[in-house]
């Protein structure tokens, strides 16, 4: 089995059994990054600005639901079937009639060239096994003038702090691939003919106990992770706003939300 297939299988193994947990996760249901997404697509207008929209790594579908009101049709796409079942269930409960489902990886989109108006992805790109390939696919299927709207945790520009972040994430979730630096993503976008026209930089606020429980981290690894948070270098703790709170730890990841247009 190839490394890419291993990573896709890892995502299915992590998120399949936990699909119902993610369907009720406050961070995924609504946070500042989703509000930024809604603002950038003018979701409050209720006007169909987009024909076909694809939401990559949809999880339980919350971002797909957010853009459904401004799209003729939304395809909620994910590699994990149980997640798609949650998206289908929640979409029905919310009365969203223009939602379709597609089980596929972001790196292999089953859509025709220049057939899509908007691609969204929120808090999922750090799981993409080949982020550059995913961008290639987005560039391929988007129409000229189409939009790519992504929101994800990002790494600081400091190499040591970035390494710490990615190591911590991988120990907590073996399907994690990489939190990338904004400067690196900007280079990838520019090289594929995307121009960022709007940006926002919210934080993803987390609590350690719930964060580790969500992926069923072992007691031994949870204790080791807790120690690493509390004993991290001062610069790392400052970058991630680490703060003990009773028997828990509050922290946050930096996030970048951008709307880019295909030239």
pLDDT of residue 93: 95
pLDDT at 13 over 70: no
pLDDT tens digit sequence for 162-206: 999 999 999 999 999 999 999 999 999 999 999 999 999 999 999
| Mean pLDDT, rounded, for 77-106 | 95
pLDDT tens digit sequence for 102-143: 999 999 999 999 999 999 999 999 999 999 999 999 999 999
User: What is the distance between the alpha carbons of residues 62 and 27, in angstroms, rounded to a whole number?
Assistant: 11
pLDDT of residue 65: 96
At 156, is the pLDDT very low, low, confident or very high (cuts 50, 70, 90)?
very high
3-state secondary structure of 61: coil
At 48, is the pLDDT very low, low, confident or very high (cuts 50, 70, 90)?
confident
pLDDT at 155 over 70: yes
User: What is the distance between the alpha carbons of residues 36 and 258, in angstroms, rounded to a whole number?
Assistant: 9
What does residue 243 show for φ and ψ, rounded to 5 degrees? -150, 120
Average pLDDT of the chain to the nearest whole number: 91
pLDDT at 5 over 60: no
Give, in degrees to the nearest 5, the angle at Cα 28 between 48 and 160. Answer: 115
pLDDT of residue 31: 77
Q: Any idea where the domains of the chain sit in the sequence?
A: 3-156+175-205+253-262
User: What is the distance between the alpha carbons of residues 38 and 120, in angstroms, rounded to a whole number?
Assistant: 11
| Mean pLDDT, rounded, for 55-73 | 95
Closest CA to 32 of 249, 186, 212, 257: 257
pLDDT tens digit sequence for 245-262: 999 999 999 999 999 999
Task: Tell me yes or no: is domain 3-156+175-205+253-262 CATH 3.40.50.150.
Answer: yes
pLDDT tens digit sequence for 16-42: 455 455 455 555 455 799 999 999 999
pLDDT of residue 1: 44
Instruction: Write the DSSP string, 182-231.
Output: HHHHHHHHHHTTEEEEEEE--EEEEEHHHHHHHTT--HHHHHHHHHHHHT
């Amino acid at each position: 089995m190839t490394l890419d297939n291993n990573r896709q299988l890892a995502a299915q193994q992590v998120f399949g059994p936990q699909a119902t947990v993610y369907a009720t996760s406050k961070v995924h249901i609504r946070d500042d990054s989703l509000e930024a997404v809604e603002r950038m697509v003018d979701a409050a207008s209720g006007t169909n600005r987009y024909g076909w929209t694809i939401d990559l790594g949809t999880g339980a579908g919350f971002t797909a639901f957010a853009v459904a009101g401004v799209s003729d049709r939304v395809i909620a796409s994910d590699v994990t079937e149980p997640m798609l079942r949650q998206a289908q269930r929640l979409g029905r409960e919310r009365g969203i009639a223009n939602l379709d489902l597609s089980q596929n990886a972001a790196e292999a989109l089953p859509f025709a060239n220049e057939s899509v108006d908007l691609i969204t992805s929120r808090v999922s790109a750090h799981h993409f096994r080949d982020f550059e390939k995913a961008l290639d696919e987005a560039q391929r299927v988007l129409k000229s003038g189409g939009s790519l709207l992504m929101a994800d945790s990002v790494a600081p520009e400091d190499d040591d702090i970035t390494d710490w972040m990615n190591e911590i994430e991988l120990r907590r979730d073996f399907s994690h691939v990489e939190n990338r630096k904004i400067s690196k993503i900007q280079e990838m976008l520019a090289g594929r003919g995307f121009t960022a026209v709007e940006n926002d930089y919210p934080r993803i606020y987390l609590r350690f106990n719930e964060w580790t429980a969500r992926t069923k981290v072992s007691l031994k690894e949870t204790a080791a992770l807790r120690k690493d948070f509390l004993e991290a270098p001062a610069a790392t703790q400052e970058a991630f706003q680490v703060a003990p709170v009773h028997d828990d730890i509050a922290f946050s990841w930096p996030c970048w939300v951008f709307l880019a247009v295909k030239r």
